Amino acid sequence: MPVDMLDILRKYVFTEASLFLLICSSNGRITDSNPYTKQLLGFDPLNYKINDLFLDFTHVVEPRKIFKEIPEDKLFNIKTFTGLPQSLYFRFFDLGSLFLIVGRSDPREQENMRKEIIELNNNLNSLTRQLHKQNSELAKLNKLKDQFLSMAAHDLRNPSGVILNIAEILKENLSAQLTEEDAYLWDRMQKNALFMSQIINDFLDVSLIQAGQLSLRYSSCSIADLLRDNVRQHQIMAETSGLKLSLELPPENIIISCDISKIEQVLNNLLGNAIEHTEKGGDILVKLTADAEHLTITVRDTGMGISPDKIKEIFDFYSKDRKKLSVKKSSGLGLAISQKIIAAHQGKIWVESVVDKGSTFSFSIPLNK
Amino acid sequence: MVSKISEEIFTSFQKDLLAGDRRQCSMLVEKLLSGKIDVRDLYLNLFQRAMYNIGRLWEYNKISVAVEHLATSITLQMLNLVYPVLFSAEKKNKSAVIACVANEYHQLGSQMVSDIFELNGWNGYYLGSNTPLDDLLKYVDTKKPDILGLSIAIYFNMQNLWKTVEVVRREFPGLFILVGGQAFLWGGREITTEFSDVHYAAGFEDLENLIRQQEN
Domains and CATH numbers, chain A: 3-105 (3.30.450.20), 110-210 (1.10.287), 219-366 (3.30.565.10)
**Domains present along chain B, CATH in parentheses:** 7-86 (1.10.1240.10), 95-215 (3.40.50.280)
Burial of residue B75 (CB within 10 Å: 0-12, 13-18, 19+) is buried
Q: A133-183: per-residue pLDDT in tens?
A: 999 889 888 888 888 888 888 888 888 888 889 988 998 898 888 888 988
- Name the 3-class secondary structure at A230: helix
A137: Cβ–Cβ under 8 A, 6 or more apart, which residues? B87
Q: B59-87: per-residue pLDDT in tens?
A: 888 998 889 999 999 999 999 999 988 88
**β-sheet with A85-94: strand ranges across:** A30-33, A20-25, A98-104, A85-94, A74-79
Inter-chain CB proximity B79 and A122 less than 8 Å:
no
Q: B153-173: per-residue pLDDT in tens?
A: 989 999 999 999 999 999 999
Average pLDDT over residues A57-81: 73
* Contact residues, chain A to chain B, C-beta under 8 Å: 114-115, 118-119, 121-123, 125-126, 128-130, 132-133, 135-137, 139
A255: Cβ–Cβ under 8 A, 6 or more apart, which residues? A220, A221, A222, A223
- Name the 3-class secondary structure at A335: helix
Residues of B in contact with A126 (CB under 8 A): 107, 111, 126-129
Average pLDDT over residues B28-32: 97
Rounded to 10 degrees, the C-alpha dihedral A254/A260/A264/A266 comes to: -90
* Sheet strands (E) in A8-108: 20-25, 30-33, 74-79, 85-94, 98-104
- Name the 3-class secondary structure at A290: strand
Pick among B33, B80, B122 to test the A interface (most A CBs inside 10 A): B80
Average pLDDT over residues A352-363: 93
Burial of residue A349 (CB within 10 Å: 0-12, 13-18, 19+) is buried
End-to-end Cα, chain B, rounded Å: 24
Inter-chain CB proximity B84 and A132 less than 8 Å:
yes
Instruction: For residue A129, give the nearest of B69, B73, B126 by CB distance.
Output: B126
Inter-chain CB proximity B128 and A132 less than 8 Å:
no
Banded pLDDT at A58 (limits 50, 70, 90): low
| Total length of chain A | 369
> Which residues, listed in sequence order, are joined to residue A359 by a DSSP beta bridge?
A353
CB A60 within 8 A of CB A101: no
How many Cα atoms sit within 13 Å of B61 on the Cβ side? Answer: 0
Residues of A in contact with B127 (CB under 8 A): 126
CA distance B88 to B69: 30
Q: Is the pLDDT of residue A1 over 70?
A: no
H or E segment at B108? Answer: helix B108-119
pLDDT at A68: 64
- Name the 3-class secondary structure at B55: helix
Lowest-confidence region among A18-27, A71-80, B117-126: A71-80
H or E segment at B96? Answer: strand B95-100
Q: Is the pLDDT of residue A67 over 70?
A: no
CB B191 within 8 A of CB B139: no
